[in-house]
Amino acid sequence: MSFTVFATAIISAMLINNVILMQFLGICPFLGVSKKSSSAVGMSAAVLFVMVIASAVTYTIYDLVLYPFDIPYISTIAFILVIASLVQFVEMVIKKFSKPLYKSLGIYLPLITTNCAILGVSEGNITGIWTETMPYWEGLFTAVSVSVGTGLGFGLIIFAFSSIREKLDGSNVPASWKGVPISLVVAGIMSLAFLGLAGII
């Protein structure tokens, strides 16, 4: 695997196939934790960590356990258990070392367990990357590259969206558009903007 392949996988997952704006996964934390930039950054870091580790672990489990033992049909259950365990670990670490961030994330931190973006990346690595003939290390490297790009793309979008929402709070928005309506309009415009990158890679 060359650096070019690594960079291409990251840029593609981050900008062109963005998990939020193009695949519409992870919308719950996107709308729920994007009111403040500080919360958005904390959530992005937590999601990136869980996503990368979960991708590596789930790919390994599928390649070395589920497929050889002919039980790939339980992959979704196994992946959810891995993600839930990692989220519990992240939650304990954040609670111990950054209580303000833990309080600001609130219910959305344990909701990373059911964040479809993380499960979607883990499943996508199997359906889009894994093949019976691909060497394990090559597939693992590609899966981790895609998950890093996806996590960075998630962080980029949620931080940009939170910055826009902070600006909107101080703007003269019509009463009927305040809050969620104007946020959804902004999200739609951002999605159209990123649609212009389709086909570059």
What CA–CA distance (Å, rounded) separates 181 from 194?
20
Distance of CA 18 to the CA centre of its chain: 9
pLDDT at site 1: 55
Q: How confident is the model at residue 128 (pLDDT cuts 50, 70, 90)?
A: confident
> What are the structure tokens assigned to 4, written together?
């070019």
pLDDT at site 121: 92
**pTM here?**
0.86
Section 22-27 average pLDDT? 88
Distance of CA 179 to the CA centre of its chain: 24
Q: How confident is the model at residue 201 (pLDDT cuts 50, 70, 90)?
A: low
Output 59 or 171, whichever has higher pLDDT: 59
> What are the structure tokens assigned to 35, written together?
């009111």
45's CB contacts (< 8 A; 6+ apart) are 155
Output 114 or 178, whichever has higher pLDDT: 178
pLDDT, tens only, 37-77: 888 888 888 888 889 999 999 999 999 999 999 999 999 99
Section 113-130 average pLDDT? 86
Q: Is 199 left (phi over 0), alpha (psi -120 to 50) or beta?
A: left
156's CB contacts (< 8 A; 6+ apart) are 14
200 contacts 16 by C-beta, under 8 angstroms: yes
Q: How confident is the model at residue 176 (pLDDT cuts 50, 70, 90)?
A: confident
pLDDT, tens only, 82-100: 888 888 888 888 888 888 8
Nearest Cα to Cα of residue 53 among 131, 147, 133, 123: 147
